[in-house]
Structure 1
Amino acid sequence: MATAVSKPPCAVCKTPAITRCSRCKVVHYCSAVCQRKDWHSHKIACTPTAPTPPTPTTPKQPTPTTSKQPALPDPSKPLNVYPVDSKKTSGASPDRKPEPKASSTTLKFKYSPSEDGVDENLVIFFHGLGDKIEPNFVKLAQSMQLPQTATCCIQAPTPVPYLEEEGWQWFPSFNNMTGELLGPDSPERMIQVKQLVRPALVKFLKHCIDDCGFDSQRIVLFGFSQGAQIALDLAAFGGFNLKAVMSIAGYFMEEAQNDEPATKLNTQVLIVQGDKDDLRSVKEATNQFKYVQRIFGKANAAQKIVAGMGHGMPSSEPGWTPLMQFFATNLYHRSGEGMSDMFEVK
């Protein structure tokens, strides 16, 4: 009876592997996830192998049915190499990240992979006070059509009281007795952020990085108004050195302006502010922006005052142009050099 040859170990996790890099045909991987983890170091030594000259073929011998492990071919003969069928494998292609699991956070979210099939970047959207992720923010994320970018819209945890239509808030915003807007002197605002919102978002980001394979330096946060406050809070105090934050009409919560991040950040920040914003004057916005510069560094933070824009999402080219330029500058785009394909060896 023929003896099955042991499968070579995966270069990353050392488990038996039956797939290998198709470019160099040397390094083996057990899955596309491991190949993606190893690519940054492997690509330095990954060089195409010279084609093997053809040799006379002989009729195949029947494989013993009692062997559960496939035997590797004779290394002196050409290998029959076929692309892996992604539908038959548990992992996606090296370009497609696994989708975040609902169990990774207590918050509701809507994830959409990149339309072009390459999930290099992740942009996370945070809606404003009284809004919800669907349909507005999901449509916004889809309409941007960002290349090589997956998107995720996260919904705030608490419903806004006394609203006729469904709306959500990131922290308590109204006095339940009088209906008046709560200010920074109301401790329940920051209590909810520190005890509920921030931990839930940190857990979700950690899942996206550790389990889904996103690089923290390719994650961008996009927030409007109250959602922008949460995006800035997460970028500053969540413990991740993220790529960028885009804020529309939102700054740090005033209660947080005595806090300092645990480590020095090089996160890029853009804040778009309308000069007709009825919730915050340009002078007030300029003063609040100084704290943003102190946290992230003056060289990393920029503020754009848009003429004629009120407290809302941009509705014209002057408001959208700086946002799209910021995306173009801070989203990673892989062109020319692609990862080698994963191939199954038979």
Structure 2
Amino acid sequence: MPTLHPVVQADFPTSLVLSITPPPALSSHTTNVLILLHGLGDTAVSFTSLGKQLALPETTCISLQAPTPLPLELGGFHWGDDITFDQASGQMDFDTGFNKAVKIIKQDIIENGLIKKCGYKAREIMLFGFGQGAMAALATAASVAEELGGIVSIGGPLASSNISAKAVKTPVLVLGGSSSTLITRTALDKLKAAFQNVEYQKWNRAGDGMPRNRDEMLPIMRFFARQLRSRAGVPEGSVENVNVGPADKAQRLEKQRLSRPDLKQALHHEEKTHRFELLYVGCRQDKWQFWQYNILKVKR
């Protein structure tokens, strides 16, 4: 069984500004990595707090700061290759190219850091982005040859330059408001043309801000439930979901998938797997923490 090395700052170039949040104490080791990409004009600090609040089992969170500072009067950082303003609205244009950001995320973080130095597989790495950070996440997934664990995009459409003739396998969850949103029908159609598996969640409010309550956050945690992996089993203090039917179905589907020799070899499964669902809902310091977590015990 290959050893996964703990993720540390030394695994990445010193020019990058990032913070690393290890798994919560209930996890004895890390099986997944979640890369957090903040929105336009923000810094890595806010998503460092998000990683701690999520407290996903067996998951190390990396909050990466965008590479380019905005002009002094604006403050914060941005992911784009350039800075342009919409002449009609006066607002900054989110979509100014993501070549620089993709190179950093893909090469410096994922390929050279997490895969080569730490021993992770692409399937064990997920991206979570807000606004322009979500666009950078989608652009990265579109450029990576292997399937990543998944992309969570809050208010981030696909950049105009990311048009591929072959649909990407990495699963995508995209979320946005019911109005005043960048996730328009045209944006959704473009995403579905570029990615094979796109799930859309429309919030019952205007705008594409971060989730404000349990109902808005729950689709994200369910997505994590489907995509995150575990080698330790049920986290202590969790409550198992008694809805046996879907779990049985999921287990049967997993066995069917693993019956394919190519997939079985790719995932390094050496024995039958066991999948079951559990639902954990908690509250810590007035901040909701909740997930529906599919445990897929694998032998690497």
Whether TM exceeds 0.5 here: the answer is yes
Alignment of 1:49-64 (within 5 A): none
* CA displacement at 1:234 relative to structure 2: 0.2
Instruction: State the alpha-carbon separation in 2 of the partners of residues 247 and 221 from structure 1.
Output: 8
* CA displacement at 1:99 relative to structure 2: 2.3
Quick one: which of 131, 134, 139 aligns to 2:49? 139
Aligned-residue CA RMSD (Å):
2.9
Regions of 4+ moved over 6 Å:
337-340
* CA displacement at 1:318 relative to structure 2: 2.0
Question: What is the number of residues matched between the two proteins?
Answer: 232
Instruction: State the alpha-carbon separation in 1 of the partners of residues 77 and 178 from structure 2.
Output: 26
Are 1:320 and 2:217 counterparts? yes
Is this contact kept in 2: 1:223–1:229, CA < 8 A? yes
- Per-residue CA deviation, residues 140-187 of structure 1 (Å, 9 max, x unaligned), is 1110010000010111111111436x4110013345x99944548x8x
Aligned residue for 1:254, secondary structure, equals: coil
Instruction: State the alpha-carbon separation in 1 of the partners of residues 189 and 225 from structure 2.
Output: 25
TM-score using structure 1 length: 0.60
**Which residue matches 2:142?**
236
- Per-residue CA deviation, residues 274-314 of structure 1 (Å, 9 max, x unaligned), is 114x353xxx62221111111111xx111010102522101
Instruction: State the alpha-carbon separation in 1 of the partners of residues 173 and 299 from structure 2.
Output: 31
TM-score using structure 2 length: 0.69
Distance 1:119 1:335, change over 3 A: closer
Is this contact kept in 1: 2:164–2:194, CA < 8 A? no
* CA displacement at 1:100 relative to structure 2: 4.9
Instruction: State the alpha-carbon separation in 2 of the partners of residues 291 and 182 from structure 1.
Output: 22
**Which residue matches 2:120?**
214
Are 1:99 and 2:8 counterparts? yes
Are 1:201 and 2:105 counterparts? yes
Alignment of 1:142-181 (within 5 A): 142-163=52-73, 166-171=75-80, 172-175=82-85, 180-181=90-91
Is this contact kept in 1: 2:4–2:119, CA < 8 A? no
Quick one: which of 19, 22, 28 aligns to 1:113? 22
Are 1:273 and 2:170 counterparts? no
Letter of the 1:157 counterpart: P
Instruction: State the alpha-carbon separation in 2 of the partners of residues 217 and 201 from structure 1.
Output: 15
Give structure 2 stretches of 5+ with no counterpart: 234-296
Structure holding more strand per residue = 2
Is this contact kept in 2: 1:270–1:326, CA < 8 A? yes
Larger radius of gyration: 1
Instruction: State the alpha-carbon separation in 2 of the partners of residues 290 and 98 from structure 1.
Output: 36
- Identity, % of aligned positions: 26
Structure number with higher relative contact order (C-alpha < 8 Å, ≥ 6 residues apart)? 1
**Which residue matches 1:290?**
189
Give structure 1 stretches of 5+ with no counterpart: 1-35, 38-93, 341-346
